[in-house]
A = this chain, B = another copy of it.
Amino acid sequence: MKIFTVKGAGFCFGVKRALDIAFAMAEKKEKGIYTLGPIIHNPQVIERLREEGISPTEDIYNEDIKSLIIRTHGIPVHLMEEASRRGYGIVDATCPFVKKAQHYAKLLSEAGYQVVILGDKDHPEVKGLVSYAGDGAVVIGEKGPLPRLKSRVGIVVQTTQPVEELKRLAERVIERAKEIKVYNTICNSTANRLTETEDMSRKVDVMIVVGGKNSANTTQLVRLCASMPVKTYHIETAGELKQEWFRGINKVGITAGASTPDWIIHDVKKGIKGTGG
């Protein structure tokens, strides 16, 4: 059995950077360092950080907070202001690409555009973006209906959206608005990972997608593979692998979301080999 790993699988630039920041903070051995929400969608990494003294908290009013690490997704303006007001040391590990999208949302709003955000309205990144996008901003999901729009519309995109969705949205907005400004804030590493995963899924019999069940970009990889003529399994760790998946199989492909560490990918590879399929 041959096992291939997608080139762009695993940690992206923004996640690597955020973890570097977090582990560097940990070295200070200070008390009261928190991340607002889990720093990435990966329980194993969260656990390692907790051992180093950095815990996630959902509560910005948590009285133990001294320093607050902002995770890659970014946070809404009012939370950033509240953290500031409360005198926390703020360590901003927002992904620079998300930061850019926030900046463009603000810019569009200030220039009088009605801001349309393409993305999942429940995703933390999008909740952050909305807070920069001003009054009248709307979030459009993949297949959601388009509300009544003003004649000047500005579009920004959740960084992990597929470019095909942006094209479809632009098409629909062009029918309604007279002036449309699009900032294509889709992150290349997401796009490349999708392309490489699609290519791989054409060459193998089974695809193993490794990543958090609540990770948007992992879910996208799963959906992509499921749409291809290849058997697809979504796992979070090597422990979930089943021997029967690989019986009589010649070629297996591995891909992984942006929040999946290399060592987990490595374990999965070893695990598949161990099945001896």
Q: Which residues of A contact B (CB under 8 A)?
A: 163, 166-167, 170-171, 174-175, 177-184
Which residue in B163, B174, B175, B180 is a CB contact (below 8 Å) of A181?
Answer: B180
Bound-complex Cα distance A163 to B180 (A):
14
6 pairs of A and B residues whose beta carbons are closest in the complex: A167-B171, A180-B182, A181-B181, A170-B170, A178-B184, A167-B174
Query: Shortest CB–CB separation between residue A154 and chain B, in angstroms?
Result: 9
- Give the chain B neighbours of A181 by CB distance below 8 A: 179-182
| 10 residue pairs A–B, Cβ–Cβ below 8 Å | A163-B174, A163-B175, A167-B174, A167-B175, A170-B174, A174-B182, A178-B184, A179-B183, A179-B184, A180-B182
How close is A153's CB to chain B, nearest CB, in angstroms? 10
A183–B182 alpha-carbon span in the complex (Å): 11
Query: Shortest CB–CB separation between residue A114 and chain B, in angstroms?
Result: 15
Given known contacts A170-B171, A171-B167, A179 and B178 CB-to-CB distance under 8 angstroms: no
Provide the bound-state CA to CA distance between A163 and B178, in Å. 11
CA distance A180 to B181 in the complex (A): 6
New A-B pairs, 6, CB < 8 Å, besides A170-B171, A177-B184: A167-B171, A170-B170, A171-B171, A179-B183, A180-B184, A181-B182
Q: Using Cβ atoms and an 8 Å threshold, which residues of chain B touch A180?
A: 170, 180-182, 184
Complex CA gap A262/B180 in Å reads 36
Give the distance to chain B from A158, nearest Cβ to Cβ, in Å: 15
A182-B113 Cα distance, complex, nearest whole Å: 13
Min Cβ gap A152→B in Å is 10
A52 to chain B, nearest CB (A): 37
Tell me, in angstroms, the Cα distance from A90 to B184 when the chains sit together: 43
A100 to chain B, nearest CB (A): 10
How far, in whole Å, are A163 and B166 apart by their CA atoms in the complex? 18
